[in-house]
Amino acid sequence: MMESQGAPAPLVRIFGWTMLSLMVAFLLNAILKFWFDFPGATSAFSGGGLMGFIQIALYFAAITLGIWHVLKTPDRTLRSEAAGIITFNTFLVRGAFWVVLLVGLGDAVVSFLRVNNMLEGMVGADLAGNLGRAEFRGLYFHTPLVILGILIAAVTRSLGFIWLSLLVVIAELLIVFSRFVFSYEQAFMADLVRFWYGALFLFASAYTLLEDGHVRVDLFYASMRRERKGRVNACGAVLLGMLLCWTILILGFGSSSSVIVGPILVFEVTQAGFGMYVKYFMAGFLGVFAVTMMVQFVAQFFEAVADKRGEPGARETHAEIM
């Protein structure tokens, strides 16, 4: 059984779960600040009042929750903990795929109907006009598709982003046929390719890290024993991986004009009038990338420490099989 594979490591587990719980608290504080007009955690001692202290309390609660989880399950090993985290991260990536699939197809259909003056005849003048406004389309058209995508991800098991690469090829092929065979091309067609390709690149990164499929100069790493590789991966997960993810999150959610928050707050769209209204979604891709990579780096950290300690039950990656 997985629970017997290695001795408990409470301090390592506390560190990993603290990273994850602090990330959740950070994201909750960002939502409270930018969408519910909370003053921000840093304002607690500079006139922020009760709401500012509530936001600070979220961080303390997050740390406490991480420690409590470890103390409640003292017999959990690093490998079993990593396996559970990977399962959850797989759900996040799967949900992100279904969301971009449904939103991409739905928005492309609306854009196609608009550019060909067919939308008003199908849904009426009022709704057609509202669907031409980014805020309305984002709230009342994209949001239900997002919820539907998450629900589908909850009842499916395959990692859908693998199929996303095929959809990108099909979408690009349709552009070639429509342009050179039918002399038909619209802005939304290229927008769909960019939308799906951006999702494919950023969402698949966590899976690539899981399977050790990323490119690296391994002149020294390839010849190392598993224990030495574990030491290298543990240090890299913390000093390079988690640090990168925190940098993206802090810069992306730092202010209302930040690279992630800014476009989402205003439902930013491209300058092409009949293009897809998903540019703000692509800004959110960076946030999804940072979150899924942070989760995966914590799992890798647990696995790496287990490797360093020579614990049995190491997971064999695709790179090692090949």
Whole-angstrom Cα Rg for the chain: 22
Distance CA 308, CA 303 (A): 9
Structure tokens of 296?
A: 């995966």
Give residue 247's pLDDT: 97
Give residue 312's pLDDT: 80
pLDDT in tens, 186-232: 888 899 999 999 998 888 888 788 776 666 666 777 778 888 889 99
Distance CA 164, CA 105 (A): 12
Structure tokens of 131?
A: 């669907």
Torsion sign, CA atoms 158, 159, 160, 163: negative
Residue 26 near residue 253 (C-beta atoms within 8 A) = yes
Give residue 322's pLDDT: 52
Phi, psi values for residue 257, rounded to 5°: -110, 10
Distance CA 236, CA 241 (A): 6
Give residue 215's pLDDT: 62
Closest CA to 230 of 299, 322, 310: 310
The model carries a pTM of: 0.89
Question: Domain segments of the chain: what residues?
Answer: 1-76, 88-321
Residue carrying the six token digits 């190392």 = 224
Give residue 108's pLDDT: 94
Residue carrying the six token digits 């540019």 = 279
Closest CA to 208 of 293, 91, 109: 293
Closest CA to 232 of 17, 81, 240, 19: 240
Distance CA 79, CA 101 (A): 33
Residue carrying the six token digits 């690279």 = 259
Residue 80 near residue 312 (C-beta atoms within 8 A) = no
Give residue 84's pLDDT: 94
Give residue 87's pLDDT: 92
Give residue 320's pLDDT: 58
Give residue 3's pLDDT: 46
Give residue 2's pLDDT: 42
Residue 189 near residue 182 (C-beta atoms within 8 A) = no
C-alpha count within 13 angstroms, C-beta hemisphere, residue 110: 25
Give residue 184's pLDDT: 83
Q: Where are the alpha helices (DSSP H) in the chain?
A: 10-35, 49-72, 78-115, 119-123, 125-131, 134-137, 143-155, 161-180, 187-203, 205-210, 226-236, 243-252, 261-265, 279-308, 318-321
C-alpha count within 13 angstroms, C-beta hemisphere, residue 214: 12
Give residue 100's pLDDT: 94
Distance CA 71, CA 200 (A): 38
**CA diameter of the chain:** 68
Q: Where are the alpha helices (DSSP H) in 204-278?
A: 205-210, 226-236, 243-252, 261-265
Residue carrying the six token digits 């942070």 = 294
Burial 59-78 (b: 16+ CB within 10 A, else e): beebbeebbebbeeeeebbb
Distance CA 210, CA 204 (A): 10
Distance CA 119, CA 110 (A): 7
Q: What is the pLDDT along the chain (322 residues), one digit of tens a residue?
A: 444 466 788 999 999 999 999 999 999 999 999 999 898 888 877 777 888 889 999 999 999 999 999 999 998 999 999 999 999 999 999 999 999 999 999 999 999 999 989 999 999 999 999 999 999 999 999 999 999 999 999 998 876 667 888 889 998 998 998 888 888 888 888 999 999 999 988 888 887 887 766 666 667 777 788 888 899 999 999 999 999 999 999 999 999 999 999 999 999 988 776 789 999 999 999 999 999 999 999 999 999 999 998 888 777 665 555 5
